[in-house]
Structure 1
Amino acid sequence: MRAIQITEFGGPEVLHVAELPEPSAGPGQLLVDVQRAGVNYADTHAVEDSYLSRSTLPMVPGSEVAGRTADGRRVVALTDGGGYAEKAAVQEYLTHEVLDGVTDEQALALVVQGLTAWHLLRTSARLAAGESVVVHAAAGGTGSLAVQLAAAFGAGRVIATASSKDKRDLALDLGADVALDAAPEDLKERLIEANGGRKVDIVLEMTGGPVFDASLAALAPFGRLVTYGMASRTPATPVEAAALMGRSRSVVGFWLAHCLGRPGMYREPMAELLAMTADGRLRPLLGGVYPLADAARAHQDLRARRTVGKLALDTTL
C-alpha cells in the first residue's frame, strides 16, 4: 500500500511516499480502508520529534482516519500513528460510525479538533453561562469549532483572534462577538477592551510565548487559561505560584490523549458533536484536501498559517 513514511526527523521535507506492507488487525482492532486521513498541527511536531510523546523511526504519521471497514461501515477513528496511508489498523473502542449527512472531512474535523474544543470548554475551563471566552487561532481547526461551541454552550461573549482580516471575518461569521489581530503587541489591553473594559474569564491558548503571557495577564479573578499547544515553538515566561494565587487565576493544561479510554470522555462527546453537525448546529470548517503525495505541502501550508479549518489527505490520489 502507499503511505507517507519518514526515516529521519525534520520539517515537511522529510515526508515521502513509500510502498509498505498492509497492516493487519490484531485483537480488538479493525482494518479500515482509508479514504481521508486527517492532518493536525501536532503532526508537524511529531515529524520533528518535538511533541509531548516521543516519536520513533521509521514512522507513518497521522492520528485520525475516515473510511470503511471490511463489512462496509463508514467510520472515523483515532489511530496510534499510521494514518497517512491507504489502510490503517485501529482500535475498535476508538472507532465511531459516521452519521448520514456528515462527510468524511467533517467527521475528521471532529475526532481530534472537535473533541479538543469540547473538552477545552467543558472539562478544562468548565465554562459557565455568561462567561467571556477568548479563542486564539479562531480560524483554525480547533479554534473554529471552539468559537461555535462556546456560543452554543452559553458564553456571554466570544472574543476571537486571528492573523488576517479574512480569518477574523470568518470567526465573526462563525459566531464570535468580536475578532482581534493575533499579534502579541498590546494584546492584554486589546482583550480587555474587547470585553467591555473587563478582564476575561476563559482563554483557550495554543500559541505559547508572548501570546500566552499576555493572555494570562488579561485573566479576571477566577479566570482560567487552558493551554493545549505551542504553535510558536517559543516557551512562555515561567508562571510563579504567587502570581496565580495573588489573582485567583488558573493555568490548565490539556492533551486529548488523556481522555481516551476514560468513561464518558470519548464516545459520548463524539456522538454529541456528530449529531450537532448532522443537524446543522455545528459547522466544521474544511480547509482543503490534498493528495496523499502532497503531505509535505499540507504541512508547509499549516506551519505558514496559510490554511483555515481542517486539512485532510485524499489517499485515493
Structure 2
Amino acid sequence: MNRRVVYTRGGLPADVLTIVEEPEPSAPECGQVLIRTRAFTVHPGDLQTIGAYPGKTAQPVPAGLEATGVVEAIGPGTRVAPGVRVGGRVTVFPQPGAWSQWVVADAEVVVAVPDELSDEVAAQMLANPLTTVMLRREAEEQLAFGYDGCLVQTAAGSSVGRLVTGVSQFHSLALVNVVRSERGAAELRKRFPDVPVVSTEHPGWADEVRTAADGRPVSVAFDPIGGKLAESLLALLTPGGKLVSYGLIAEEPISVHASTLLDRSLTLRGKNIGRWLSEASAERRASDVATAKQIALGLKDQFEVAATYGLGELTDAVELAVQPGKVGLVLVRPW
C-alpha cells in the first residue's frame, strides 16, 4: 500500500490534512519516474496554500510539492536530467502530491542529488534555493543595486533568509538583515558576524536600517511577511527602488497609496516560486537548478532541521512548522 497526505477542504492544516491508503503505483509511463520517498519537508508556503483553499473538493487533493527519495523505475523512452538513474537519490520540485511514500513524478522536475548531501539537506535542495535564486535575480535586475545600492530583507532568520545572506556574502552584495526579535538578531549575528542585523522590536528600527546601510541607498527589499512591515519597507526605499513580496505571513493586506509609488517611482513586485516551472524557459530552469545545487553544497550548514517526525505524527509536524522562532524546517520520514 501507499500512504499519501491529502485534504478535501481548506482550513487549519492540522485539522484538514489526512493520510489515505491506496494501492502502490504501477510502472511509470513515458515521461515519468517512480520514486520511493525517503523524506519531505513541511514548507510554510504549502500550509498557507492549504489554509486558503476555497471550500470543499470533490476529490482528495494530494499535498506537498517537494520530496527526496530513490528512483525505483524510469518510464520507457523517458529523457531524464543528468545523474538521474535507477537506484540513485533524487529530489523533486514542484511535484504535486510529493507528501507520499511513493511518487510518480514528471521527469522534468526530477533532479539528481549530489553524494555529498544528506537526506536532510536533499529534502530542502530545491524550493528554498530556487527561491533564493529567484530573489537574487530580482535584485540584479534593479540597476541601482548593482552599483552602490543596499539590499534589505525581513524574516532574515528563516530558511530562505539564511540562504539569501550566504549568497549575498559570496557575491559581496551589501545587505542589512531584519528580524522580529533581539533574540533572533543575536542568533543571526553568530551565524553571519559581518552582516548587520536589526530587530523590529526596537521602535526606531527603520532608522537603524538606514544607519546600517552606511550611506548606501536601499535599492531593493525582500519581504515574505506583508502588511504593515511591507509598508515600512517602501518608506525605506530610495527613489526608483523595488520591494519584492514573496510570502503571505501577515494576515492584513499591504495598504499603499498610489502617491507612495508615483512620487518616488517605486516598484512593488510579487514573486511566487510556485510559478517558476511555468514562467522559466527550459534553459533558465536548468541553470537555476544547477545554481540551487551549488547553494546546497556551499551552504549545507544552513539547511537545518527543526525536528523529524514519522508520517503518523503529521499533526505534530504541521503544528511545529507554523510556530515562530524555530530554526530550520520540519522534516517527515514517510516510512
- Superposition TM-score tier, normalisation by shorter sequence: 0.7 to 0.9
Q: Deviations over 1:16-69 (max 9, x none)?
A: 232223345343121110001121111112222359xx9875122110010010
Q: In the alignment, what sits opposite 2:319? A: 300
Aligned amino acid, residue 241 of structure 2: G
Instruction: State the partner residue of 2:189.
Output: 172
Please state how far the C-alpha of 1:246 moved relative to its aligned partner.
Answer: 1.7
SS state of the match for residue 222, structure 1?
coil
- What's the offset of the Cα at 1:92? 0.8
Counterpart of 2:228? Answer: 210
Question: When the two structures are aligned, how many residues end up with a matched partner?
Answer: 312
From 47, 51, 56, the equivalent of 2:50 is 47
Which residue is equivalent to 2:100? 85
- After alignment, is 200-209 or 299-308 more displaced? 299-308
- When the two chains are superposed, the root-mean-square deviation of aligned CA atoms in Å is 2.6
Instruction: Tell me, yes or no, if the aligned pair for 1:187 and 1:215 is still in contact at 8 Å.
Output: no
Contact kept, 8 Å, 2:4 with 2:20, in 1: the verdict is yes
Q: What secondary structure is seen at the aligned counterpart in 2 of 1:143?
A: helix
Match of 2:213 in 1: 195
Check 1:90–1:203 CA distance in 2 against 1; reply closer, same or farther (3 A cut): same
TM-score (norm 2): 0.83
Match of 1:3 in 2: 4
Indicate yes or no: 2:127 matched with 1:144.
no
Report the equivalent of 2:256: 238
Give the distance between the partners of 1:281 and 1:41, measured in 2 at CA. 20
Q: Is the 8 A contact 2:225 2:247 kept in 1?
A: yes
Could you tell me whether the CA contact under 8 Å between 2:226 and 2:250 is conserved in 1?
yes
8 Å CA contact retained: 1:159, 1:194: yes
Contact 1:38 1:63 in 2 (8 A): no
Inter-CA distance 280–115: structure 2 relative to 1 (3 Å threshold): closer
Aligned to 1:102: 117
What amino acid sits opposite 2:62 in the alignment? V
For residues 113 and 57 of structure 2, the distance between their equivalents in structure 1, rounded to whole angstroms, comes to: 30
Q: Is the 8 A contact 1:66 1:107 kept in 2?
A: yes
- Any conservation in 2 of the 1:76–1:107 contact (CA below 8 Å)? yes
2:80 maps to none
State the 1:98 CA deviation. 0.5
Q: Aligned partners of 1:124 and 1:265: how far apart in 2?
A: 17
Matches within 5 A, 1:62-77: 62-70=64-72, 71-77=86-92
1:314 and 1:189, CA in 2 relative to 1: closer, same or farther beyond 3 A?
Answer: same
In 1, are the aligned partners of 2:8 and 2:57 still within 8 Å (CA)?
no
Unmatched 5+ residue regions in structure 2? 73-85
Partner secondary structure for residue 90 of structure 1: strand
C-alpha distance in 1 between matches for 2:272 and 2:227: 18
Structure 1: unaligned runs, 5 residues or longer: none
| 185-194 vs 26-35, greater mean Cα deviation | 185-194
Q: Encode CA deviations 1:78-112: one digit per residue, 9 max, x unaligned.
A: 14321111011111111110111112221232311
Q: Distance in 1 between matches of 2:127 and 2:184?
A: 21
TM-score, normalising length: structure 1: 0.88
Q: Secondary structure of 1:190's match? A: helix
CA distance in 2, matches of 1:15, 1:278: 33
Return the offset for 1:215: 0.7
Going from structure 1 to structure 2, the CA distance change for 1:276 and 1:228 (only over 3 Å counts) comes to: closer
Task: Label 1:87 to 1:202 Cα distance change in 2 as closer, same or farther (>3 A).
Answer: same
Alignment of 1:35 onto 2:53: no
- What letter corresponds to residue 310 of structure 2 in structure 1? P
**What is the alpha-carbon distance in structure 2 between the residues aligned to residue 55 and residue 169 of structure 1?**
45
Q: Is the 8 A contact 1:3 1:84 kept in 2?
A: yes
Which structure: larger Rg? Answer: 2
Name segments (4+ residues, structure 1) moved above 4 Å.
54-57, 183-187, 279-282
CA distance in 1, matches of 2:58, 2:197: 40
Deviation at 1:128, TM superposition (A): 2.2
